[in-house]
Amino acid sequence: MAHTGILILLFLVFALTAGVFTRYFLRHSKIPYTVALLLIGLLCGLLGRYGGTSQVFPMATETLTLVAEIDPHLILFLFLPALIFESAFAMEAHLFRRMLSQISLLAVPGLILATVATAVLIQWLFPWEWTWPVALMFGALISANDPVAVVALLKELSSRKRLETLLEGESLLNDGTAIVLFTLFYGIVTGVSHGGGWLTVCIDFLWVVCIGMLVGWGLAVISLQWLSRVFNDPLIEIIVTVVGAYLAFLLAEAGLHVSGVVAVVTIALMYSGQGRTRISPEVQAFLHQFWEMLAHIFNTVIFLLVGIIIAERVRFDDPQAWLALAVLYVGIQLIRGATIMTLSPLLARIGVGITREKAVVLVWGGIRGAVAMALALSVAQNQMIPQAIRDQVLFLTAGIVVLTIVINGSTIPALLRYLGLDHLPAAKQVTVNRAQLSIDRKVYELSEKLQTDDLLKHANWLSVRSEMAGVHLYEASKTGSEAQSGDQGLIVAYKRRLLESERKHYWNQFEEGVLSPEAAAELVNAVEHALDDEPLIGPRRHLLKSWKKKPENAWLDRLPIWGKYFHQQNFLQMVSVYNTARGFLQAQKAMLSVLESFELSNAMKVGISKEIAKNISEAERQIKTVRQHSPETVQALETFTVTRLLLNRERESIAYLQHTGVLDVPEAEKLVRKVEEAMNKQDRYGVSPGDSRE
C-alpha cells in the first residue's frame, strides 16, 4: 500500500483537477457547481466500491478507501472554520445586525421546532425501535442547513442581499445550534451524560453559545488591536485572520467545549465590521480574494469527499431504509415549510420583514450538506451505539444530503424564475442598463478612432460592428423611460442605491488615506442608520448629534494639572468634527453626480437634490465653525491630507514606471517601501495639538 501522505496528496490533486474541469464545462450550464461535484464523488465512490478501479488503478482504489474512512472530526475542525469564517466575513455586518432577530428566530427556535418535529416523525412512522434521545439526536443533525448552492445562484442571478444574508446567516447560526443540540443528545445516547431535564438542556445550550461568543469577541479584540499597528503587510494581516478563525474554533470546541461555530461567526463579524478600519486599506481586496479562494477549494474538496464517503460506506440493501428515506425526505420538506409558516407572522414584523416569495425560497433552500454528514459519521464510528442504529443514521443522512443537493439544489434556478427572483430589482437593473449604455458609447467612440489608424483601418469593420455594436443600447433606453414613473417603491430603491454609493465613497476615501479610521467608521455608521427602514437622504441625525457635542470651556485648558487633558479632548473633538464633515461634504457632492446617472423624472431628481443640498450646507457650516474656532487645527489636518495625497500619487507613479518597464521590481519595491514608511509614520503619529501650534 502506498504511503498515506501520498494518497492524501493524490486525492487533493484529483479533487482540484475535477473542480477545474467541472467549473469550466458548467460555465454555460444551469447545473449548480456543488451538485455536479457531489455526483462526481458518488460516481467515483461507486466505481471504487464495486471494483471499477481496483485492477486498472490500484492506487486510486487505495485513495478512495482512505478517503471513505476519514475521521469526521477532521471535516469539522479542518473545513468548517474556514467555510464559516468566509461566509460570515463576506456578509455586510450592518445588514446582519439588522436581520439578527430574524436569523436568530430561524436558527434557534426554528431549528428546535424542526428537531422535535423530525423526532416525532421518526417515532410515529419509522419501523425501527429508536429511543427519544436517538430520535432527537438525529433530528438535530439532519436539521443543519447548508444553502451554499442557493446563495451562489442568488449572487449570480439577482444580487438580493437581504435574502442572501437571511439564508447565510440562518445557516451559520443554524449549524452552531444543530451541533450544540446534537452534542447534548449524543452524550445522552452514548451514556456520557444523563440529561437532567429540559431546564438543564436549556442552561447548557445558553452556556455553550454565550461562552463561544465571548471567545470569538475576545480573540477579535486582541487581534484587531495588534493589526491596527501593522501597515500594508498582506502576509501578516491575512495570516492573522486565518489563525484567528482556527484558534477561535479550536479554543471553543476542543479547549472549553463550547460552540466553535458561534466563536468563528463572532470573530468574522468583528473583522467585517469594526475590523475593516483596522486592516490596511491596501490589503482589503486581497484579503477577501484569499478567503474566497480558500472557501472555493474547501467546498470543492468537501462535496467530492461527501459523495465518495456516501458511495463507499452506506449500505444500500435494506428496502425498509429506502422507504424510510423517501418518507423522511418528504417529511423534512413539510417540516421546514411548517416551521417557516409558523414563524412567518413574526418574521414579517421584525428585522427587514419577509415576503411570501422569499419564504418559499427559505423552505426549498433548506439543503443539507457537510455538517450533517460529519455528525452522522461521528455516530457511525461510535462503538457504544448499536450497529443497526449507526447504519440507519448514516444511510438516512447520506440519502437526505444527496436528495436535497440534487433535487432542491438543481431546481432552485427554476423556482427563482417562477417567483420572479431571478433578475435584479428595478432600480439596480436600470443602473446596470445605464452603465451598459455608457460602456457601449465608449466602445463606439474607440471604434471610430481605430478606423482612422493606419495599422487597423483595413480590418473587417462590418464583422467587428456586428459583434460589438451597442447591443444593449435600445434595452437600456427603453428601461430608462419606464423608470420615469412615480412608483414609491422605485424611489425608495433609488435612495437606497444612492446611500450605498455614499458608503462606498467613504471606503474609497479611507483606502486613499485621507479619511481616518475613526471618521470612516462614524460616517459609514451614519449611512447605515440612514439605510434602516425607509432610506433617509437627510437630515443625518446621528451625525448632527456628534457634531453638536460642545468642546470643553477654554478656561479648563489653563488648569494646572488637568489643562493638558482638556486641551487634548477639545482638539480631538475638533479633529473629529472636521474630518467627518469634510468626508461627508465630498460624498454628498459625489452623490449629486451619481444622481444625474439615474433615469428619474425631473421632479424626483429635484426633490432628492434638495435633500443632498441641505446635507452639503450643514457640512459646510460645520467646517466653517471649526475654521473659526480652531484655524490651526484645520491647517494641521489639511497639511496631513495634502501630504497623504502626494504620497499616494508618488506610490502610483512608481507602480506605473514598474508596469512600463522603466523600473525593475526590486527597485520599485524599494521605492514603494520608502513611501509606505512615510505613510505608516503619518498614520502612527497622526495629527496632534502640538502640530497646530507650529
Q: Which CATH number covers residue 129?
A: 1.20.1530.20
Q: Name residues whose C-beta falls within 8 Å of residue 428's C-beta, 6 or more positions apart in sequence.
A: 159, 493, 497
Cis ω on the peptide bond leading into residue 58 (within 30° of 0)? no
Does 103 lie in the same domain as 61?
yes
Whether the per-residue pLDDT at 66 is higher than 50: the answer is yes
Does 668 lie in the same domain as 645?
yes
Mean residue pLDDT across the chain: 81
Phi, psi of 664 (to 5 degrees): -75, 160
Identify the CA nearest to 150 among candidates 135, 129, 171: 171
- Domain boundary among the residues 419, 441, 464 is at 419
314-322: which pairs have CB atoms within 8 A and are 24 or more residues apart? 314/394, 314/395, 314/398, 314/399, 315/391, 315/395, 318/391, 318/395, 320/127, 321/392, 321/395, 321/396
Whether the per-residue pLDDT at 258 is higher than 50: the answer is yes
Does 504 lie in the same domain as 456?
no
Identify the CA nearest to 358 among candidates 437, 311, 419, 400: 419
Whether the per-residue pLDDT at 286 is higher than 50: the answer is yes
Does 443 lie in the same domain as 327?
no
Q: Could you read off the pLDDT of 614-658 as tens digits, one per residue?
A: 888 888 888 888 888 778 778 887 888 888 888 888 888 988 888
Residue 589 counted as domain residue: yes
Does 240 lie in the same domain as 197?
yes
Number of domains in the chain: 4
Whether the per-residue pLDDT at 546 is higher than 80: the answer is no
Does 343 lie in the same domain as 260?
yes
Does 437 lie in the same domain as 580?
no
Residue 575 counted as domain residue: yes
Q: Can you tell me whether residue 145 is helix, strand or coil?
A: strand
Residue 297 counted as domain residue: yes
Q: Could you read off the pLDDT of 212-221 as tens digits, one per residue?
A: 999 999 999 9
Residue 648 counted as domain residue: yes
Identify the CA nearest to 359 among candidates 297, 441, 291, 415: 415
Looking at 602-693, which runs of residues are DSSP E strands? none
- Confidence band of 18 (pLDDT split at 50, 70, 90): very high
Residue 634 counted as domain residue: no
Whether the per-residue pLDDT at 435 is higher than 80: the answer is no
Please give, one letter per residue, the 3-state secondary structure of 50-111: CCCCCCCCHHHHHHHHHHHCCCHHHHHHHHHHHHHHHHHHHCCHHHHHHCHHHHHHHHCHHH
pLDDT value, residue 483: 44
Looking at 331-455, which runs of residues are DSSP E strands? none
- Domain boundary among the residues 390, 419, 448 is at 419
Does 507 lie in the same domain as 537?
yes
Identify the weakest region by mean pLDDT among 12-26, 40-54, 484-498, 592-606. 484-498
> How many residues does the structure list for the chain?
694
- Domain boundary among the residues 367, 393, 419 is at 419
Residue 671 counted as domain residue: yes
What residues make up the domain containing 669?
Answer: 641-693
Residue 636 counted as domain residue: no
Task: Report CA 337 to chain centroid distance, whole Å.
Answer: 26
pLDDT value, residue 221: 92
Does 678 lie in the same domain as 604?
no
pLDDT value, residue 475: 38
Does 659 lie in the same domain as 535?
no
Does 413 lie in the same domain as 522?
no
Residue 142 counted as domain residue: yes
Does 312 lie in the same domain as 357?
yes
**pTM greater than 0.85 (yes/no):** no
Whether the per-residue pLDDT at 100 is higher than 50: the answer is yes
